[in-house]
Structure 1
Amino acid sequence: MKVSVVLVGAGLGLRMGGGIKKPFLQIHGKPIFLYTIERFSHIETVHEIIFVVGQTEIQTLCDRWQDTLNAHKVKKIVPGGKRRQDSVYNGLCQTGIDAEIVLIHDIVRPLVRKEHIEAVINRARESHAAILAAPMKATVKETGDNLYIQRTIPRNNLWMAQTPQGFKRELILKTFNQFRNGDREFTDDAEMVEKAGYRVEIVPGTDDNIKITTPDDMRIAEALLG
């Protein structure tokens, strides 16, 4: 089995502040993107990684990191698009036609566990579409516009979606081709697959697979990666 990985890091990262985009921020002297790439490059079935970044970052990556990226199975660096789904599509189009499974992962989730990556691969191979998610622990309230509570939503069957999200390559390309030119923005890749009428399986994950978005997230990642 061959697995291709699309690592998405083309967003602006405005919530973090400062002049450096999130994937390039350093934790203990190493950029976030490299922590994440290493998590996937050590998976035996992963045979290629496609790194999607902003157009302005490509030259810097090639000049400074090319040898390191090559050593970690990064086959191509491609520019992102206007929306996240456009960036993902650019990466998907560069995956090898011999890949059975494609994993899509946020580059700023550097703490994903090896066993969870492998679990998503295995479930995607069996059920065609599977995502990593953590069970909801908080009590969820739904309100109206006036902020009065309308109902409490039972959390028994609620999950917080994470990445990686894994799909059979033919399925995910077919789905993106169906929706990519529409106006609707999808919050994650699984939502698009669900909209196309396919079932998506949950692979239970853990809360430490955080997406680094704010300075508080950086402090948590620094502690966990220390």
Structure 2
Amino acid sequence: MKVSGILVGAGLGLRMGGDVKKPFIQINDKPVFLHTIDRFSQCSLISEIVLIVGEPEINVVLDTWRDSLNAYNIKKIVPGGKRRQDSVFNGLCNVDADTEIVLIHDLVRPLVKKEHIEAVVYKTREYKAAILAAPMKATVKEVNDDLSIKKTIPRNKLWMAQTPQGFEKTLIINVFRQFQHTGREFTDDAQMVEEAGHPVYIVPGSDENIKITTPDDIRIAKALLK
């Protein structure tokens, strides 16, 4: 089955601070987004990579990293939308016509492992919808409005959603169209599929697959990439 990887990095990155957006922050002499592309390029199951960045950044990416993009055979750079789900839909509209499975991944998760990308592909082939996730290790409390503890949530049933998230192309496009004009916002693509009534399956991942969000994440990523 032909698999397309959609790497999404069109957000504002407000929590990081500074003038440089998260995908373009240098880690060990290489921008975050190229580390992520490198991980996907190592996976032979991925037939194409669709890169999504903010529209103002497209020319900057092409001018600054054209040689690297050519080396990774990146031919599609798509402008993001107002919301993450709009950006993802832009990517879905640009995958190859014969794509059967799409993997949607945060461009600022540069530490994803090749074997986990492959595992999501295989699980998606089997069940049409699968996401990478890590088991919850901390004790989780549900609280009242005044921050008093209401109850402790059993953590054996809790997983921290990550990316990539894999879907049969026809399924995910139909789900996006179902919610396109409802005004609803979703925190990830799997939530949308869940709301549409289709089961989504977990692929156990790793705590190392962090999303670069804060300066502390940069320090962790630098250490892990070494």
- Please give the range of the TM-score, normalised by the shorter of the 2 chains: over 0.9
CA deviations on 1:4-62 (whole Å, 9 max, x unpaired) are: 01000000001111000000000011000000001001111211111110011000111
SS in 2 for 1:125: helix
In structure 2, distance between residues paired with 1:177 and 1:129:
17
CA deviations on 1:151-194 (whole Å, 9 max, x unpaired) are: 11101111000000000011111111111222111000000000
2:79 maps to amino acid: P
Aligned to 1:38: 38
Aligned to 2:111: 111
SS in 2 for 1:29: coil
Please say if 1:85 is aligned against 2:88.
no
1:53 maps to amino acid: V
1:99 maps to amino acid: T
In structure 1, distance between residues paired with 2:156 and 2:119:
22
SS in 2 for 1:207: coil
In structure 1, distance between residues paired with 2:44 and 2:222:
27
Please say if 1:18 is aligned against 2:18.
yes
In structure 2, distance between residues paired with 1:219 and 1:38:
20
Moved more, 107-116 or 73-82: 73-82
Aligned to 2:160: 160
Where do residues 102-141 of structure 1 align in structure 2 (5 Å cutoff)? 102-141=102-141
In structure 1, distance between residues paired with 2:78 and 2:168:
21
Please say if 1:142 is aligned against 2:124.
no
2:3 maps to amino acid: V
User: Does structure 2 conserve the Cα–Cα contact (< 8 Å) formed by 1:47 and 1:73?
Assistant: no
SS in 1 for 2:163: strand
Off by >2 Å, runs of 4+ in structure 1? none
Please say if 1:61 is aligned against 2:42.
no
1:108 maps to amino acid: V
Aligned to 2:98: 98
In structure 1, distance between residues paired with 2:225 and 2:215:
15
For normalisation by structure 2, the TM-score amounts to 0.98
Percent sequence identity is 68
Shift of residue 71, structure 1, vs aligned partner? 2.2
Aligned to 1:188: 188
SS in 2 for 1:39: helix
Structure 2: state its 5+ residue gaps: none
In structure 1, distance between residues paired with 2:140 and 2:8:
29
In structure 2, distance between residues paired with 1:214 and 1:64:
24
Aligned length: 226
Shift of residue 67, structure 1, vs aligned partner? 2.8
Shift of residue 100, structure 1, vs aligned partner? 1.3
Shift of residue 75, structure 1, vs aligned partner? 2.1
CA deviations on 1:110-169 (whole Å, 9 max, x unpaired) are: 000000000000000110000000000011100111111011110111100000000001
In structure 1, distance between residues paired with 2:106 and 2:10:
10
Moved more, 126-135 or 36-45: 36-45
User: Does structure 2 conserve the Cα–Cα contact (< 8 Å) formed by 1:11 and 1:84?
Assistant: yes
Please say if 1:223 is aligned against 2:218.
no
Aligned to 2:47: 47
In structure 2, distance between residues paired with 1:139 and 1:184:
30
